[in-house]
Amino acid sequence: MKNKRLTDSRYWQSMQSATDGKRPDQPPSGKRRIRDRLFPGIERGYAAHLAFDVACAKYLPKGDLKLVEIGSAPGDKLLRLHRNFGHVPYGVEYTQIGADQNRALFEGNGISADNVIQSDFFDDAFQAAYREHFDIVMSNGFIEHFDDTADVIAKHLDLLKPGGTLSIAVPNFRWFNYALIRFFAPHTLKAHNLAIMRKKKLLSYFRDGSVDVVVCKYIGTLNLGLIYGPNKTPVKLLLMKLLLKFQRLVDIMLYLVVPRGGFESFLFSPYLLFVGRKQPGRNS
């Protein structure tokens, strides 16, 4: 039975169009340079700093390893991992606009545009061409857009070499975050499989022993920036802007007090991260 998508190409095109023309690696302003010097890694938010600076440094292997991100546009995460840890970055993108964004960023930073693969992740030809091809397979905010999580994870593992590293991050739209999103952007909930946003549930997909669990944990303390989505009323837009300004202050405070994390919980943390190693000799 075909895996049911909770989104379609129009959903992703609308999300990617919102960032089209913005350069995620543009030269920083003077204000931003000062902030980055005082709080390195904080420009994307405290939770992203923990996920892509702290957690990746701790749990991912380093060096000249092929790393692919499923759903990679605009490519800024891959670029950061390439610069920080020496990975050879590859991206898989479903839409034309997303692939174009990723290719432009790669080309502008000395990485081959051929490393961006425009394909349906579930396409049999794609899966066959890249079977056990990558040392690290990563997705961030991808698997929750499908109803058959076991199938999505299995296809991640199909791309991964034996002994390679699997990294999966999903948003946590439960508890406090559910109430937040329900108020600001309720229509986005239909595009997400909320059932897998629990640590116990995510771990249940790895009970067969094909993957050695390295870590499964909530990431970040609070992220009011989860209230994304269009079609907000003027009142909600104003309130959202105020909350995001407050979030910036919270991020800086947390960065100063617990720069490597420490106040994570299932109630408030914005992300859930899984990292594991594919067992050598085990077929996915």
Model pLDDT for residues 173-210, shown as the tens digit of each residue:
999 999 999 999 888 898 899 999 999 999 999 999 89
Residue 15 host element (H or E): helix 9-17
Place of tokens 């991964």: 160
Strands (E), the chain: 66-70, 88-93, 116-118, 134-140, 160-171, 211-219, 271-278
| Alpha carbon distance 146, 151 (integer Å) | 9
Q: Residue 18: exposed, middle, or buried by beta-carbon count in 10 A (0-12, 13-18, 19+)?
A: exposed
How does residue 242 score in pLDDT terms, banded at 50, 70 and 90?
very high
Model-wide pTM > 0.85: yes
Q: Which residues pair with 117 in a beta bridge?
A: 92
- The answer to whether residue 2 is domain-embedded is no
- Nearest 5°: the CA angle 166, 169, 175 is 145
Question: Could you tell me the two tokens for 181?
Answer: 């999103």
Kindly tell me if the per-residue pLDDT of 12 is higher than 80.
no
User: Mean pLDDT across the stretch 218-237?
Assistant: 84
Range of the domain at 44: 9-13+31-278
Q: Is residue 200 part of a domain?
A: yes
pLDDT of residue 152: 97
Total tally of structural domains belonging to the chain: 1
Q: How confident is the model at residue 2 (pLDDT cuts 50, 70, 90)?
A: low
Least confident range from 12-16, 153-157, 228-232, 241-245: namely 12-16
pLDDT tens digits for range 53-66:
899 999 999 999 99
- Tell whether 21 is covered by a domain: no
> What pLDDT score was predicted for residue 26?
53
Backbone angles phi, psi at 233, to 5 degrees: -75, 160
Question: Which CATH number covers residue 113?
Answer: 3.40.50.150
As a whole number, mean pLDDT of residues 97-122 equals: 96
* Three-point CA angle 139, 88, 20, nearest 5°: 60
Establish if 108 belongs to a structural domain: yes
pLDDT at 16: 47
103: in domain: yes
Of residues 279 and 13, more confidence is placed in 279
Residue 4 lies in a domain: no
* Distances from the Cα of 223 to the Cα of 51, 178, 206, angstroms: 13, 12, 28
Q: Between 29 and 70, whose confidence is greater?
A: 70
pLDDT of residue 33: 64
Burial class (CB in 10 A: 0-12, 13-18, 19+), 235: exposed
Report the candidate in 276, 255, 274 with the shortest Cα–Cα distance to residue 216: 274
Q: Look at residue 229 and tell me whether its pLDDT is greater than 70.
A: no
